[in-house]
Every structure is written in structure tokens, then in C-alpha cells.
Amino acid sequence: MPAHYDLLIRGGVCVLPWGTESTDVGVRGGKIAALGVASDAGADATIDATGLHVLPGLIDPHVHLRDPGDAAVESIPTGTRAAVLGGLAAVFDMPNTTPAITDAARLAWKQEYAEGAAWCDIGLYVGATKENIAELAELELGRGVCAIKVFAGSSTGDLLVEDDASLERVMRSGRRRIAYHSEDEYRLRARRAKFKSGDPYASHMQWRDKETAFLGTRRLMALALKTQRPAHILHVSTAEELAYLAGYRDIATLEVLVNHLTQVAPECYERLGGFAVMNPPIRDRRHLDAAWAAVRDGTVDTVGSDHAPHSRAAKERPWPECAAGLTGVQTLVPIMLDHVNAGRLGLPRLVDLMCAGPARVYGVLGKGRLAAGYDADFTLVDMQRRRRIEESWIVSPCGWTPFAGMTVTGWRVATIVRGQVVMREDEVL
Ligand code: DOR
Ligand code: ZN
């Protein structure tokens, strides 16, 4: 009797861990059941992927969905809808909500709520505070928890663990890799008086300068080495940190953001004003070039969007009162595909950064690999399709993107999560 599947993806070019092959994929029970399916196999549903690339479901390991918080800006239902429209099969959601996710009760609430409210799979960060250090060892083992997140420098929200003694105690509570926002809080405070309200938006990168980030990373790495606790440095934004962290591959992994690979200062501040302001800041071309070199030489483990929605009114305030953070969950994949088309990285490296990388860094089992037995998560892309990014597409309630007007080549055509087609041709199903 010929094999029967729930879903067959026929005729696509698959990016497998061991190379790129034209092969059919059979899905059963939400898992990849077979690669290279016999021509007489049956299926309840078939997708013709002729002319398309079949990628493992792409993961954005860095989003802020603001839930609980302000649903007029973003929420788990709207943010994960934007994610699947953007071609993402999973997102990892940050804990700096209102209130923040920092204890067992709030984590239990979010686990239960997210299960019914999310359009894609979702990993949950738990925030470290100076008060919950003893509980972190237990919290990091919670269902769906991707990592403990430490804000070592202050950003949006009130999460902050800035001093070495507290940071060391955090590192000694638990064992899993910790994700860090690395900017030195003391240098931030000391430099704030150099600037005044209403200064140009480009002041943001002068205030939160490269030494603020590099000093933060040196301090964190000294403590990580002392405690032997694995570290993941989020949104690395300077050439100096990239060169430095390459020397600590035995204990450190790192993320760069699509923003830091795509936008360049000072031009972005002149064009976008407060809509270019984020932490750590977008910097000049030297840092962008270093980020691409680090993508190419393998220093970078993951790429994320740091999707951080704020209301238009909050972004339009003068610097530095304007909120820091940029939307990106819906535009991450198209922009990265455009970078592939421009020759800045290959499709296998994109899959390494957005599937295998997050799986490796965060210890996700059963995802991030197009192979038998793994979750049937797929992103189908058309590498030829050309589109102009329009603000009107943005389904996050805040309703804006810093990438409006950018023309991209390479487009996500379908998102499949554990065998369910959740997006096809711009429609959420
Ligand atoms: O620009 C940022 N926005 N950086 C962060 O670290 C936090 C984020 C937010 O939540 O708005
Ligand atoms: Zn962030």
C-alpha cells in the first residue's frame, strides 16, 4: 500500500542541514515523516512548491509582544499574526511587559494564555530582577521558557540588574545559557548629562556609544568566565564586541539584528527621526560592515528583529523622551531574503542563523532542522518575487515600520507550523 501523509510538499528546493536538494517532504502528525516521497504516495493535502525554496520554519528569537501591556500597540495575537504573515514559524518573546514576567505566577499565566492566543509557536523569556535571583534556577526550567533575560543596562520597562555582585548571583542561579542586553548602566548614567532634551535624534548613538556596549560586554564576559555560565549577547552592535566575542566561542554566543545589518547612521536618523531610535543604537557603516563580516565568518549565531513596537505618539516625542525600539517581526524575513539576493549571505547561512542557530543557542529540541522526526515547520519562499514594503501591510496595531518604501527581492509565500498551513499568499488561515 502506498504511504499516506497529512500534507505533501512537492517539487520544492529544500534547504537541508547537509545541503540543498530538490526533494518532496511528507508530513504526518505535525512532524516531518519523510524526505524524498514516492510518486504514488497519497496525502490529505498537497502543496505544489515548484519554483519555491522550502526552508525549515524560520524563527525570530527576539520579539517584544507587549502582552500583558498595551494591546493598542501590540499583543500576542496581533504580534504572532504579524509573525506568520512575515514567514516566521516561531518567535521568542521578551519579558519586559507591564507587568514583567519575573515570577512563577506570571509565567504560568503567560504559558496558559499564549497557548490559546498565538498563531505560531512561542518561546518565553523570564526576566531577572535583583529580587528573583534565587528563583531563576527553577524558572528557567519552565514549560516553553527559552532563556532567562537580563537587562544589564536599562531600556524599555523597569527590568535591570546592573551591578557585578548581582550579575554574578544571577549567573550562579541555574545552568542554562542566559540572554543579555549588554550596555553598561553606569556609563549610560554618567554620559546622560552631556545631552539635553531636543538634541538631534542621532545623539542617541553618541550617548549610548560603542564603549557603553563594549564595556558592558567585557564586564559580562569576565563574570561568565568566572562562573562558567554560558552567555548569549543579544543585539551586538559594535565591531569591537564582535572581534572580542570571537575569542570566547567556548562560552559565548551572539545575536545581531536585521536593523544593524540594514540601517546606517547618521542617514537613518535624518530620514526616520525617532523611528530610528533603538537600544543599542544603529551606528555608522564601520559597524554595519563588521556585522556582515561576522555573519560571513560564522561569528554570529542568530539574527533577530528585536520587534519592539511603540505608539506613533511615543516615537514622535523629541529625543531622548522618544521611546526606543523598532517594529520588525513582519519584515525580518523579506529583508533577510533581499540580503540573500544581494549576495551578502547564502540561503543555507540564513537557515543556519534563523533555524539551527536559535535551536542550538536556546537548546530547542525538535525544531530548526528540515529532517525526519522534526516538527513540520516550514517557510516557503520565492526568491524571485519583488515587492515594495508598505506601511499599510503592518498588522501590529501600532501600524508603522522603519522599512516602509524599501523594495525587496525574495518573498515568503507560506508559513507552516507543525503541519498546519497558517499563512499562504499573504492570507492568514
Ligand atoms: O530598543 C529597544 N527596545 N531595546 C530594548 O532593549 C528594549 C526594546 C523595547 O522593549 O522597547
Ligand atoms: Zn529587545
pLDDT for the residue 89 = 98
Q: pLDDT tens digits for 270-321?
A: 999 999 999 999 999 999 999 999 999 999 999 999 999 999 999 999 999 9
Nearest CA to ligand 1 atom 7: 156
Q: Which atom of ligand 1 is nearest to the CA of 278?
A: 1
- The rounded distance, in Å, linking the Cα atoms of 127 and 155 is 13
Cα 270 to middle of ligand 2, angstroms? 23
Degrees, nearest 5: CA angle 181-312-262: 50
Entry pTM: 0.98
Contact 397, 72 (CB under 8 A): yes
- What string of DSSP letters covers 35-54? ES--TT-EEEEEEE-TT-EE
What is the distance between the alpha carbons of residues 427 and 363, in angstroms, rounded to a whole number? 31
pLDDT score of 168: 98
The torsion angle over the Cα atoms of residues 215, 187, 318 and 327, rounded to 10 degrees, is 30
Structure confidence at residue 38 (pLDDT): 85
Prior bond to 266 cis, omega within 30? yes
Q: Which residues approach ligand 1 with their CB closer than 6 A?
A: 64, 96, 155-156, 181, 278-279, 308, 324-325
What residue's CA is closest to ligand 1, atom 10?
Answer: 156
Which region, left, alpha or beta, applies to residue 224 given φ > 0 means left and ψ of -120 to 50 means alpha? alpha
What pLDDT, on the 0 to 100 scale, is given for residue 37?
87
CA of 208 to the centre of ligand 2 (A): 15
Expressed in angstroms and rounded, the spacing between residue 49 Cα and the centre of ligand 1 is 37
Whose alpha carbon is nearest atom 4 of ligand 1?
A: 279
Residue 74 near residue 98, CB atoms below 8 Å: no
User: What's the 310 CA to ligand 2 centre distance in angstroms?
Assistant: 13
- Residue 81 phi/psi, 5° resolution? -65, -45
Helix (H) or strand (E) holding 150: strand 145-151
Asked if residue 150 lies in contact with residue 180, where contact means CB atoms within 8 angstroms, the answer is yes
What whole-number distance in Å separates Cα of residue 9 and Cα of residue 93?
29
Centre of ligand 2 to C-alpha 109, Å, is 22
Q: Determine which residue's CA is closest to atom 2 belonging to ligand 1.
A: 325
Which ligand 1 atom is the nearest neighbour of the CA of 96? 10
Calculate ∠ Cα 204-183-158, nearest 5°. 90
**Helix, strand, or coil here: 118?**
coil
Q: Please, what's the b/e burial string for 114-142 (b: 16 or more CB within 10 A of its CB; e: otherwise)?
A: beebbbbbbbbbbbbbeebbebbeebbee
Ranges of residues in the chain whose predicted pLDDT is under 50: none
* CA atoms of 225 and 223, how far apart (whole Å): 5
